[in-house]
Amino acid sequence: MKKETIKLNYPQETTREAKLQRAQELAQRVQDTYGDAIVAIGLYGSLATGRDGGYSDIEMHVVARDEVEIPAVEGVYPPYKIELSMRQETSFLKEASIISDAWSVKAGSYVDVRPLYDPTDYFKNLKKMPFKRLSEQKLAVMREFFIWEPCETIAKLYTNWDLGNQDYVIMAAHDLLWQTAKLIGLANETYYPSRATMLRDATSMSNVPKGFDELVTSYLSGDMADKQAVYLACKNLWEGLQKWISEQGITYTEDVLTLPSIQTKGES
């Protein structure tokens, strides 16, 4: 008896051409609906960079004038998911210029935009914003994030290992790699075009801590069965990461804990 094939509503495979056509139709619909309130419309994500596949989503920036506020639209409209991120022209530029620990993951959505409607070249200006204050702010951001995440991850790893909870080792390796890759992106002032290739892309950068490549190779190959080996690889990366952070000119330890002054509400 022939087995019946179950057809899923989502995701369904579609061609790049079909998605681009749908995006153009959506852009025209947005213009027809909101008129001169719209400053620019553009694709971002894999469809904008050409790294899309049959199951990729449609992601679009819709930029409106400052005095106009339009709610975002995100949902599954078979055969794909569609996201219209509604932005205001000035605040969107400010958002793109923020340097945070997520810079290397988010910058591409501002830089790699495929315009669908952009009469004033808005997106040419937008793509400059992620680099505007990067050099002057990255070290402070890296220091804060290093203390906030990797230091906590490695302490949890050591604690759980000593307590006999070896199940945490794989999660710790994942977290430590993800956190280190974000730091590598900042240090190299290079963003990742896709989270799907982020770890491999990080290994190809020039400024990388010792121990990172080895743990990435084990993780991506699925060679994580020997938990003691994974634990030791995490320790090796941590030692390399501490030295690397110091080489960037970052001091993350302090001898004296100084309590900040009280600030009254309204003071900056």
* Count of Cβ atoms closer than 10 Å to residue 47 Cβ: 21
The confidence band for 2, taking pLDDT boundaries of 50, 70 and 90, is low
- Using one digit for the tens of pLDDT, what is the confidence trace for 180-200? 999 999 999 999 999 999 999
What would the pLDDT profile of 195-222 be if each residue is shown by its tens digit?
999 999 999 999 999 999 999 999 999 9
Res. 34: pLDDT tops 80: yes
Rounded to the nearest 10°, the torsion over CA 163, 165, 166, 170 is -120
CB 156 within 8 Å of CB 168 = yes
Q: How does the average pLDDT of the chain come out, rounded?
A: 96
The yes-or-no verdict on residue 259 having pLDDT over 80 is: yes
CATH topology of domain 134-247: Four Helix Bundle (Hemerythrin (Met), subunit A) (1.20.120)
pLDDT band per the 50, 70, 90 thresholds, residue 9: confident
Which pLDDT score is estimated for 260? 92
Tens digits of per-residue pLDDT, 114-157?
999 999 999 999 999 999 999 999 999 999 999 999 999 999 99
CB 216 within 8 A of CB 202: yes
pTM, two decimals, is 0.92
So where are the chain's domains?
16-131, 134-247
Token pair recorded at residue 205: 């950068």
Ordered DSSP codes for 178-232:
HHHHHHHHHHTT---S-GGGHHHHHHTSSS--TTHHHHHHHHHHT----HHHHHH
Instruction: Please report the pLDDT score of residue 5 as a whole number.
Output: 61
What are the tokens at 152? 């906590």
Task: Identify the weakest region by mean pLDDT among 9-13, 120-124, 252-256.
Answer: 9-13
What are the tens digits of pLDDT across the range 63-80?
999 999 999 999 999 899
For residue 79, is the peptide bond before it cis, meaning its omega torsion is within 30 degrees of 0?
yes
Tell me the fold of 16-131: Beta Polymerase; domain 2 (3.30.460)
